A = this chain, B = another copy of it.
Amino acid sequence: MISRDLLLYNSMTRTKELFRPLHPGRVGMYVCGPTVYGDGHLGHARPAITFDVLYRYLTHLGYKVRYVRNITDVGHLEHDADDGEDKIAKKARLEQLEPMEVVQHYLLRYHRAMDALGVLPPSIEPHASGHIIEQIEYIKKILDAGYAYVSDGSVYFDVPRYNADHGYGRLSGRNIDELLSATRALDGQSEKRNPADFALWKKAAPEHIMHWPSPWSEGFPGWHLECSVMSEKYLGEHFDIHGGGMDLKFPHHECEIAQSVAHNGSEAVHYWMHNNMITIGGQKMGKSLGNFITLDQFFTGTHPLLTRPYAPMVIRFFILQAHYRGTVDFSDEALQGAETALRRLTDGWRRIAHLKPSATSDIDVADLERRCYEALDDDLNTPTVIATLFDACRVVNQVNDGTARATAADIEALEALFRTFAFDILGLRLEADGSAAGGVDLAPYEGAVELLLEMRREAKAAKDWARCDMIRDRLGALGFAVKDTRDGGTEWSLK
């Protein structure tokens, strides 16, 4: 275990708090995952990447982390008003597919996108449809506790009753009295006693194709329920961290809290964490605004707002350049900037392997490391970690240019700094990290490029300028950038 004072911003208390796990050495963490009825977009990427970094950092510190991220494959109501219809079932009917075939299609695409973004798989990825029994049992207990009522085969959570006993809306800071006395009156047909009540179980309409038997009706669970049920099943009645996007605070997380308290008598979550939202060109992302860009469209550049494809690592890097509690605005120009910055980082990393050690040293790698840790300990300040890594790049360049000296131990420490913070914790993959890329061993190919550069140096030494230029031009045409270094060597990279 690495002992550090990690501060995390708790959305419930609205302060940074020292992180102390419930069970020494272990962390239980639950993050709301995707509804798999469409392609992944930035709204999926940001929480996944944010809590991936937290998962990686806690693991780095030596905690045994059980990270649960759910898959919503059923019962996600279109609107919280609960009059919507199951989104997946709707899509499935439109496409004349079995709902689970739609789920499989989008789940595979989600997993591929997450892999590409360097997001580690969670320890458990429970599906809502796989926990219907547990949800039914959970509802029974809430009914027994008096915080829910049955209405025409459906079960609703009684928000006014719960609010009177425990207070509802603390996480989101909503004015609950306003909410409860909402002017929008329920028409006579509504099954709900109060508009703020939410469904725990919905009776399925005859044309509804996803449903299960229950004591109340052939139906399906309400969307908010799965997270209370599955977090308790896999992490226990009390657990450390619950994460998600800020848009989930209300009503989803508020409903989760109410369900857990009604079920267990006390709140389940010790630290609530929320990442902020993403905008595109300053606007909220939305299908009607024409700025809804899927992850695959970023990766392939196939959207009118994009001039070209962006590597998944550029997306990750761009997201990490902002603190998770700040907004992030995506634009084609901003991504180009991130791409350039990421290349500078990659160049710095690549250069470390070629540094020549000195007997003495002018550089302070321990200070760089300290700054990285302090940034992470300050509520996961990834932009500061990245800035520190750029400082490390400057140090590398100074040593490379001969304006600073580094011992062999320093050079090793610089390499370790990148490995720990850029790779292990920020989860970046820098092209030249020495590992085989996607199963292809690049080593022989890189050797061929090196051989060409060697032949160019020989041509230069022999003053055969035609050959010298030819090799450089041809490599340039192939997409390689070739740069002569002060010490008479040559560096290359892919443009």
CA distance A101 to B235 in the complex (A): 11
8 A Cβ contacts from A463-485 to B:
471, 474-475, 478-480
Identify which of B116, B212, B448 contacts A448 (C-beta below 8 A).
Answer: B448
Q: CB of A133 within 8 A of chain B? A: yes
CA distance A132 to B98 in the complex (A): 19
8 A Cβ contacts from A437-483 to B:
437-440, 442-449, 451-452, 455, 471, 474-475, 478-480
Q: Is the CB of B124 within 8 A of A98?
A: yes
Identify which of B104, B478, B479 contacts A124 (C-beta below 8 A).
Answer: B104
Given A104-B125, A124-B100, A440-B438, A447 contacting B478 (CB threshold 8 A): yes
CA distance A412 to B212 in the complex (A): 54
Q: CB of A40 within 8 A of chain B? A: no
8 A Cβ contacts from A282-327 to B:
none
CA distance A131 to B213 in the complex (A): 12
Interface string of A404-445 (1 = CB under 8 A from B): 000000000000000000000000000000000111101111
CB of A88 to closest CB in B, whole Å: 13
Q: Which B residues are CB-close (under 8 A) to A440?
A: 437-438, 440, 442
Q: CB of A494 within 8 A of chain B? A: yes
Q: CB of A181 within 8 A of chain B? A: no
Q: CB of A252 within 8 A of chain B? A: no
Q: CB of A351 within 8 A of chain B? A: no
Identify which of B126, B127, B131, B445 contacts A442 (C-beta below 8 A).
Answer: B445
Q: CB of A66 within 8 A of chain B? A: yes
8 A Cβ contacts from A89-139 to B:
98, 100-101, 104, 108, 116, 121-127, 129-133, 137
Q: Which B residues are CB-close (under 8 A) to A125?
A: 104
Q: CB of A234 within 8 A of chain B? A: yes
8 A Cβ contacts from A205-224 to B:
212-213
Q: Which B residues are CB-close (under 8 A) to A133?
A: 132-133, 212-213
Q: Is the CB of B448 within 8 A of A98?
A: no
Q: Which B residues are CB-close (under 8 A) to A98?
A: 66, 124, 234
Q: Which B residues are CB-close (under 8 A) to A455?
A: 455
Interface pairs (21), CB distance under 8 Å = A66-B98, A100-B126, A101-B124, A104-B122, A116-B439, A127-B127, A130-B130, A132-B132, A133-B213, A137-B213, A437-B439, A440-B442, A443-B479, A444-B478, A445-B445, A445-B449, A447-B478, A448-B478, A451-B452, A451-B474, A455-B455
The chain A residues found within 8 Å of chain B, CB to CB, are 66, 98, 100-101, 104, 108, 116, 121-127, 129-133, 137, 212-213, 234, 437-440, 442-449, 451-452, 455, 471, 474-475, 478-480, 494
5 smallest CB-CB distances across A and B, nearest first, come from A438-B438, A130-B130, A445-B445, A447-B478, A437-B440
